[in-house]
Amino acid sequence: MIHQLIFAAPRPGMSTEEFHRYWVQEHAVRYAAKIPQIRKYAVDTTVPHPGGRPPLWDGVAEIWLENEEEQLASLQTPEFLEGARLDEPRWAAFWRTVVLDTDTEVVVPGTGAAAVQPGVKLLLLAKRREGLSRDAFRRHSRETHAPLVTRVPGVTRYHQSFTRDSWYGISEPPFDAAYHIWFDSAEAMADALLSAEQADVEADYKNFVNEQYLHTVPVRENWVIGPEPR
């Protein structure tokens, strides 16, 4: 299944609070959720960053589609062409939007794929270190980096999403992976980021990541369709 991530920011003149409200209560329900090919859909709205660093985006849409044929069909529906696409300029700064199609792997399942995970999630976008192959980057992510993350106190769930191979046939994508790390609360996330185990995680980045293009987005999930696929 394709796991698409859409990172977005509010249009000029719109506050973050207005942006979140419109995306979750208006756009997601009235437009995007009506696209029939979408199997699952969540809107992740940002929460204050424990380190005080504002993220580059104010929210993330997570969309699951069965395959590339279904994805292409979704972009040709009236629900998209006459609905969701036309609505986007009303609330989103489309020139700042970043889209990634990924394949997601579960490292720590937590409460299970069919249950809504409480608390907050830290999303990390990563670009591989210069000179490192895609395969080597993924291998390090799975075999070396993932075990370090699972030792961080407070982690309740952990997924790794790798940019799909088809994207590299067009051009070099902006990011090679997105890491999803859940915590029970914002306080638990803040404590985790100050831990010795997190220091080991951050020290490992230099081994496989271009840290200039490492971005963190702390969010809270808002399910629109799911978590069970429709």
Residue 39 lies inside a defined structural domain of this protein = yes
Query: How confident is the model at residue 52, as a pLDDT?
Result: 67
Residue 45 lies inside a defined structural domain of this protein = yes
Domain that holds residue 198: 2-225
Low-confidence residues in the chain, pLDDT < 70: 52, 111-118
Residue 193 lies inside a defined structural domain of this protein = yes
* 64, β-bridge pairs: 3, 40
Residue 24 lies inside a defined structural domain of this protein = yes
Q: Which residue has the tokens 């969540």?
A: 42
Residue 51 lies inside a defined structural domain of this protein = yes
Residue 114 main-chain phi, psi, to 5 deg: -95, 5
Q: Shortest CA distance to 109 belongs to which of 144, 145, 160, 66? A: 160
Domain count along the chain: 1
**Beta-carbon neighbour count of residue 223 at 10 Å?**
15
Residue 230 lies inside a defined structural domain of this protein = no
Query: How confident is the model at residue 114, as a pLDDT?
Result: 43
Query: How confident is the model at residue 118, as a pLDDT?
Result: 65
Query: How confident is the model at residue 49, as a pLDDT?
Result: 82
Residue 153 lies inside a defined structural domain of this protein = yes
CATH code of 68's domain: 3.30.70.100
Residue 74 lies inside a defined structural domain of this protein = yes
Query: How confident is the model at residue 40, as a pLDDT?
Result: 97
Q: Shortest CA distance to 176 belongs to which of 202, 147, 148, 215? A: 215
Q: Tell me the per-residue pLDDT of 4-29, one tens digit each, with 9 for 90 and over.
A: 999 999 999 999 999 999 999 999 99
